[in-house]
Chains A and B, each alone.
Chain A
Amino acid sequence: MIRFFLSGDHPQSRVLTALLLVILVTLALAPFLFPGTRSLETAARICIFIVLVASYDLLLGYAGIVSFAHTMFFGMGAYGVAIATQRMGTGYDAMIVGTVAGTALAAVFALGIALFSLRVRAIFFAMITLAIASAVGVLVSQLSGITGGEDGMNIRIPRELTPAFRPFDEPVLGLRITGRHLNYYLVFFSCLIMFLVLLRVVNSPFGRVLQAIRENAFRAEAIGYRVVYYRAMATVLSAAVAALAGAVFAIWLRYVGPATTLGVEIMLDILLIVVIGGMGTMYGAVIGTVVFVLAQNYLKDWMGGASDATSFLPLVPDLLNPDRWLMWLGILFILSVYFFPSGVVGRLRGKA
């Protein structure tokens, strides 16, 4: 059973298994363990980012393709839902139409970019995707008639998914269930399914071919695999999953804007998470996301304390300023590319 769900890709390390179990249980019971809006917000964000990062890992870790356009696809899913609910009115049909349309658009776009630029070298592809993604970002913020411009758009979702909806009169396990919690479980289960599907994909023959191409594209071509075809498929697949994650994100947040879905910062976050978690492992996305979000929340506090404690020294307090946490993460990132190219997960597996 477990073998079936994990597609035969076991964590292969006791510590990793324990960590993953803790994360799974915590996320599954988040509304009961941490009542309060803020922590639920964090839990939902972790769920969505796990899928987003895992879909990027399919591209970077398994196929060895560096793309900077991943947030563009994420944004397409999110804007798909936003635009559909605005045009068609509030309802599940609008949500589904928006999700499907956004995902389809992302897939077509990804296919176009892939066919146009995958024949060139990795570096070309990285630069081209960066340029296209930034152009789309600019376009989205300027076409305010359709996308709401810099202000973004608020999304109206059915009442059953909002805090105003209360299905039970009595508290369940000490928690008064609202539509917000139902919405959270929608996020949780759709993300869980998407993650397991991605795990299935990378452990299928298709995923093995991708790894072969990553290791030696020339040899893979010589064996008879059509490298461009496989790379294009990987691009399309990862774009589609990213768009689905974006749609879920939009439904959860009830808002889309350029900064929350399309920004370069989010792209950098994804890149950092994949590398620190471990490229080409899928589980790296889970560990990396949790480490990253916790670091984002707690490293800042810790650095604030350290900054105050060293305030008598020159320059050191500035380096430890909570706003500079990204710098330390950047250094960690560089070090992990050099010394732990397989990330946290690879490290844990190596010790097992």
Chain B
Amino acid sequence: MTLSTEHAPEHAPKMARLSLSERLQPWLPVLLVPALVLAGYLMISSPSSWLTLTVSGLAMGMMIFVIASGMTLVFGLMDVINFGHGAFVSFGAFVGVSVLLALSGMTGAPSLMLNLLAVGAAMLAAMAVTGVLGLGFERIIVRPVYGSHLKQILVTMGGLIVAEQLIHVIWGGEEIFIGRPEMLKGSVTVFGATLEKYRLVAVGLGLVLFVIMRAVLRNTKLGLIVRAGVENPEMVQAMGYHIRRVFVLVFVAGSALAGLGGVMWALYQEMITAHMGMEIMILVFIVVIIGGLGSVEGCFIGALLVGLMQNYTAFLEPKLALISNIALMVAILMWRPQGMMPVIKAK
């Protein structure tokens, strides 16, 4: 940028070798995560608590990522923000927990295979239900209000209210407690730190999902169309692809992921309520904003930052846990007003 003259295009070739800081520029957001982990290590005097908190923060971050990724893609693709996304989280949690309770024989058995099978069945059921719900939600609630942000916010908020109430109708108004499957209970001790087994599983699952999502977006034709659509939907349409169909697909996938996140969150908290989706959404919004709208990588980094920040501050100064995330958001927006890795330019 420094060498380009006034009339040169932005991608003007540069002859000089870039300085180290310039080459680091695009990687700075990625470096924030280790920086935060390091800062946490310095602030928390005991290494074992630090390790516990880090794993817990990563697990939380992964779950938020699973929930937020679909939303950020939908935003990038269709310029629609879905305030009702939290409803899919709640629905997924309730469906998943119902399945787990029905399969109590399998979850209670001391066999890892059976336990994982039950959890897998719960996750698949939750994803199927929330995927179908997403299809209906897109059709009935979102489709009539493309192009108007104000109406989108209002209508999806209304959808959230109705969905929450429907959960009350179907499952009753009480919160449901759910124990983790037998083999995922308890913790393992590594270097003197207690790491809950389930959190390790959540970290693993989140990582796998991230890798798969990245691979699909980078290496498949569908991913190519989605990425191109995020950059410029009209052009993709002009190339002859049915961008609306792609969008519906992404919306359904995003809803299903939210449902999956709901199941993961339910097993993390071991309790579900109808408005849990709304509570998580606040963290999700922070993640989507700081990640940069439409960017899956930004969303991933943002989610990890939020999860780590939340857990470190909850340990150091419990009262400031949520405030710390707001402070993180403010700081990042001061630094990069469009989020860390914005894909689309502000319209």
Interface residues of A (CB under 8 A from B): 60, 64, 66, 116-117, 119-124, 126-128, 130-132, 134-135, 138-139, 142-143, 264, 268, 271, 275, 315, 318-319, 321, 323-324, 326-327, 329-331, 333-334, 337-338, 341
For A268, give the chain B residue with the smallest CB separation.
B161
Interface centre among A121, A126, A271, A318 (most CB of B within 10 A): A126
Interface-side segment among B183-191, B247-255, B280-288: B280-288
Residues on B with beta carbons closer than 8 Å to the beta carbon of A66: 149-150, 153-154
CA distance A271 to B321 in the complex (A): 28
B contact residues around A131 at 8 Å (CB):
282, 285-286, 325-326, 329
* A121 pairs with B347, CB closer than 8 A: yes
Q: Which of B31-39, B165-173, B199-207 contacts A (4 or more CB under 8 A)?
A: B165-173
**Distance of A124 Cα from B152 Cα, bound (Å):** 13
| B105 in the interface (beta carbon within 8 A) | no
Taking CB atoms, residues of chain A closer than 8 Å to B153 are: 66, 122-123, 126
A-B contact pairs, 8 of them (CB 8 A): A126-B153, A127-B289, A128-B329, A135-B323, A139-B322, A334-B158, A334-B159, A338-B155
Does B238 reach chain A (CB closer than 8 Å)? no
Contacts A122-B150, A123-B149, A334-B141; A132 near B173 (Cβ below 8 A): no
B285 proximity list for chain A (CB < 8 A)? 127-128, 130-131
Kindly identify which residue among B157, B168, B322 contacts A324, using a CB–CB cutoff of 8 Å. B168
The A interface is mostly helix, strand or loop, or mixed, namely: helix
A199 to B97, CA, bound (A): 51
When distances are taken between beta carbons in the complex, the residues of chain B under 8 Å from A323 are 168, 173
Known A122-B150, A123-B149, A334-B158: A135·B326 in contact at CB below 8 Å: yes
B221 to chain A minimum Cβ distance, whole angstroms, is 30
Q: Report Cα–Cα, A64/B333, bound state, in Å.
A: 23
Interface centre among A134, A139, A268, A329 (most CB of B within 10 A): A134
Per the bound structure, the CA–CA distance linking A268 and B161 in Å amounts to: 9
Question: Which 6 pairs, one residue from A and one from B, show the smallest C-beta to C-beta distance?
Answer: A327-B165, A330-B161, A127-B285, A334-B158, A330-B162, A333-B158
A127 & B154 in contact (Cβ 8 Å cutoff): no
Smallest distance from the beta carbon of B88 to chain A beta carbons, Å? 16
| CA gap between A331 and B288 in the complex, in Å | 28
A123 to B319, CA, bound (A): 28
B159 / chain A contacts, CB cutoff of 8 Å: 330, 334
Instruction: Report which of B289, B322, B346 forms a contact with A138, defined as CB distance below 8 A.
Output: B322
**Chain A nearest Cβ from B97, distance in angstroms:** 19
- A324 smallest CB distance to B (angstroms): 5
Give B184 Cβ to nearest chain A Cβ, in Å. 29
Q: A116-B333, A138-B321 are in contact. List 15 more A-B contacts (CB 8 A).
A: A116-B330, A120-B346, A123-B153, A124-B289, A126-B81, A127-B288, A135-B326, A264-B278, A327-B161, A329-B161, A331-B158, A331-B162, A334-B158, A334-B159, A341-B151
Tell me whether B136 is interfacial, beta carbon within 8 Å: no
Contact A326-B161, Cβ < 8 Å, known A122-B149, A131-B282:
yes
**Which residues on the B side are within 8 Å of A130 (C-beta)?**
281-282, 285
CB distance from A274 to the nearest CB of B (A): 9
Measured CA separation A327–B150 after assembly (Å): 21
Assembled-state Cα–Cα distance A211/B193 (Å): 59
Q: Specify which chain B residues have a CB less than 8 angstroms from the CB of A124 in the assembled complex.
A: 289
* In the assembled complex, B337 has its CB within 8 A of some CB on chain A: yes
User: Please, how many angstroms separate the alpha-carbon atoms of A324 and B162 in the complex?
Assistant: 9
Taking CB atoms, residues of chain B closer than 8 Å to A126 are 81, 83, 153
Task: List residues of chain B with CB within 8 A of the CB of A319.
Answer: 169
Asked if A327 and B322 make an inter-chain contact with CB atoms under 8 angstroms apart, the answer reads no
Query: Which residue of B155, B318, B329, B347 contacts A337 across the interface (Cβ within 8 Å)?
Result: B155
Chain A contacts of B157 at CB under 8 A?
268, 271
For B149, list chain A residues within 8 Å (CB): 66, 121-123
Q: Is the CB of A334 within 8 A of B81?
A: no
Q: Chain B's nearest CB lies how many Å from the CB of A116?
A: 7
Q: Which residues of A contact B168 (CB under 8 A)?
A: 323-324
Residue B147 lies at the interface, judged by CB distance under 8 Å to chain A: no
Query: Given the complex of chains A and B, what is the CA–CA distance between A176 and B225 in angstroms?
Result: 75
CB-based contact A64/B150 at 8 Å: yes
Q: Do residues B173 and A337 form an inter-chain contact, with CB atoms below 8 A? A: no
The answer to whether A135 touches B158 (Cβ under 8 A) is no
The minimal Cβ–Cβ distance linking B330 to chain A, given in whole angstroms, is 7
CB atoms of A337 and B151 under 8 A apart: yes
Q: How far is the CB of B119 from chain A (nearest CB, A)?
A: 29
Q: Which residue of B lies closest to A329 (CB)?
A: B161
Contact indicator A327/B166 (Cβ below 8 Å): yes
Does B192 have its Cβ within 8 Å of any Cβ on chain A?
Answer: no
Task: Determine if B144 is an interface residue (Cβ-Cβ < 8 Å).
Answer: yes
Closest A-chain residue to B319, C-beta based? A142
Look across to chain B and name the residue whose beta carbon is closest to the beta carbon of A326: B165
Task: Find B346's partner among A121, A324, A327, A338 (CB 8 Å cutoff).
Answer: A121
Q: How far, in whole Å, are A135 and B326 apart by their CA atoms in the complex?
A: 8
Q: How far is the CB of B36 from chain A (nearest CB, A)?
A: 19
CA A79 – CA B321 in complex, angstroms?
Answer: 22
**When A127-B289, A139-B319, A338-B144 are in contact, do A275 and B330 touch as well, CB less than 8 Å?**
no
Q: Which residues on the A side are within 8 Å of B346 (C-beta)?
A: 120-121
Query: Given that A334-B162, A337-B158 are contacting pairs, would A327 and B169 also be in contact in the complex, using a CB cutoff of 8 Å?
Result: yes
